[in-house]
Amino acid sequence: MGDFGRVLTAMITPFKADGSVNYDVAAELAAHLVNNGTDTLVMCGTTGESPTLSWDEEYQLFVEVLQTVAGKAKVIAGCGSNSTKEAIAATQKAAKIGVHGSLQVVPYYNKPPQAGLYQHFQAIAQACPDLPMLLYNVPGRTGQNLSSETVARLAEVNNIVGIKEASGSLDQASEIRRLTPKEFHIYAGDDSLTLPLLAIGARGVVSVASHLVGNQLQQMIQAFSAGKIKIATEIHLQLFPLFKALFLATNPIPVKKALNLQGWEVGSTRLPLCETDSEICQKLEAVLRELSLI
């Protein structure tokens, strides 16, 4: 259940000049990504600016992108909430639309204990038993870490198939790998840690950089899987400046800037995210030019 491939793109949400969602550009970008290395699109997560999207906007995005990539790629819907009841309702509605999986972030702000986290994810999984679920651990944003022991317990739930692990801790990822069956997929939540995490048994990455270098990320992962470690390392080191440049400001501010520089009309971010300063823009542009991306 729920093999989402190697390169999952945490897709941005394009906006028009008036701040409304640009569904046409979203569809165009989705098609482009799928033709350039993306196996699965992860919609309405952190990079998709889910905190400032309405549920109606999110459902419409799921519909538009599903129609665009039908038969070519899978779509995972970001349905997480810090309210279990709300997350269940959102996930059930997304399942009816036809998404292939859901991404469930650790509840933010209310800082549940590990027992509460277990019950939260278990309840969502049980409410949508036929829909594969990816856990999403990003303590830098949520204020709470999902422990490796809790992940191991959740891995026993039939339709919880993997985790986007964005704690930044190789030790934690190693412990998750040690405690879970090999069928449970670990995905890097940070582009710069994809190669190190592959070495300890990760499946792939939920990527921001794949908006720009999806094919290269596929090449890196496939090279590693084929035992061509030197080639994988060379690709990682070549792309490393880009991985870091995309986080010079809060994600997704830099990646939207990069796409606009490439000619994509994806607009700005919604407040409270805002345009970054000129110095960061210059650094980002320099990296893009160095890699011949603009």
Task: Write out the catalytic residue numbers.
Answer: 136, 164
Report the DSSP beta bridge partners of residue 188. 165, 205
Give the N- to C-terminal CA distance of the chain in Å, as an integer: 39
Helix (H, G, I), strand (E, B), or coil: what is residue 127? helix
CA 259 → CA 46, 117, 264, distances in Å?
17, 36, 5
DSSP letter string over 8-36? EEE----B-TTS-B-HHHHHHHHHHHHTT
- Distance, in Å, from the CA atom of 96 to the CA atom of 243, rounded to the nearest integer, reads 35
R_g (Cα) of the chain, nearest Å: 18
State how far the Cα of 10 lies from the Cα of 59, in Å rounded to an integer.
16
Instruction: Extract the tokens encoding 256.
Output: 């939207």
